[in-house]
């Protein structure tokens, strides 16, 4: 085993143990080497936004300030602009798209890939493992329940849940 490999492995163990002791968590190696805020800054996201290192970011993606982007998220701006506002929570496993290949695939490549911009407003909460389809606009203050499939616009301050996501009224909640 080379000396360089030994040093890398030793450094990895040190950083992993420090993370476990300090925060009681285990994260991928990328998150041991850089902070979530450094990753967001590198991607050009807004001030005080955090983004796990294992987030897949493609194409034109803009994110506002004070937004949290959890682990294992896909932000796919390859089909048009994907914009996410300030003070949003994008939970673990969320997938947000600006394109789909349905017509392209089913036409054996004759038809083009369908592309449309997607917009997430300010103060939006998107629960774990949601899928936001291309061309959707989610209004300010909206809440998307866990594991929802959003294939239509969501009004500001509304709550939507399900597959496909539908508006719901919750007693005592806006």
Q: Name the nearest CA neighbour of 144 among 157, 52, 67, 87.
A: 157
Residues in CB range of 96: below 8 A, 6 or more apart: 73, 74, 75, 76, 82, 84, 90, 118, 120, 126, 131, 132
Q: Name the nearest CA neighbour of 48 among 34, 57, 36.
A: 36
CA distance 124 to 84: 9
Q: Name the nearest CA neighbour of 157 among 146, 166, 171, 144.
A: 144
CA distance 46 to 65: 4
Q: What is residue 124's three-state secondary structure?
A: coil
From 26, 99, 122, 152, active-site residue? 99
Residue 132 is given by DSSP the state E
* 26 part of the active site: no
Question: What backbone phi and psi angles, to 5 degrees, belong to 165?
Answer: -65, 135
> Looking at the annotation, which residues are catalytic?
99
């Amino acid at each position: 085993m080379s000396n360089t490999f030994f040093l890398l492995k030793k450094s990895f163990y040190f950083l992993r143990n420090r993370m476990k002791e300090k925060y009681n968590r285990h994260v991928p190696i990328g998150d041991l080497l850089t902070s979530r805020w450094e990753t967001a800054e590198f991607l050009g996201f807004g001030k005080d936004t955090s983004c796990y290192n294992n987030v897949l970011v493609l194409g034109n993606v803009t994110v506002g300030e004070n937004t949290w982007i959890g682990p294992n998220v896909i932000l796919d701006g390859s089909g048009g602009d994907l914009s996410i506002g300030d003070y949003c929570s994008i939970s673990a496993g969320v997938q947000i798209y600006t394109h789909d290949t349905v017509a392209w695939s089913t036409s054996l490549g004759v038809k083009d890939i369908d592309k449309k911009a997607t917009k997430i407003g300010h103060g939006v909460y998107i629960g774990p493992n949601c899928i936001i389809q291309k061309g959707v606009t989610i209004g300010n203050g909206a809440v998307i329940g866990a594991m929802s499939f959003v294939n239509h616009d969501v009004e500001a301050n509304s709550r939507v849940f399900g597959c496909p996501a539908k508006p719901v009224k919750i007693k005592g909640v806006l």
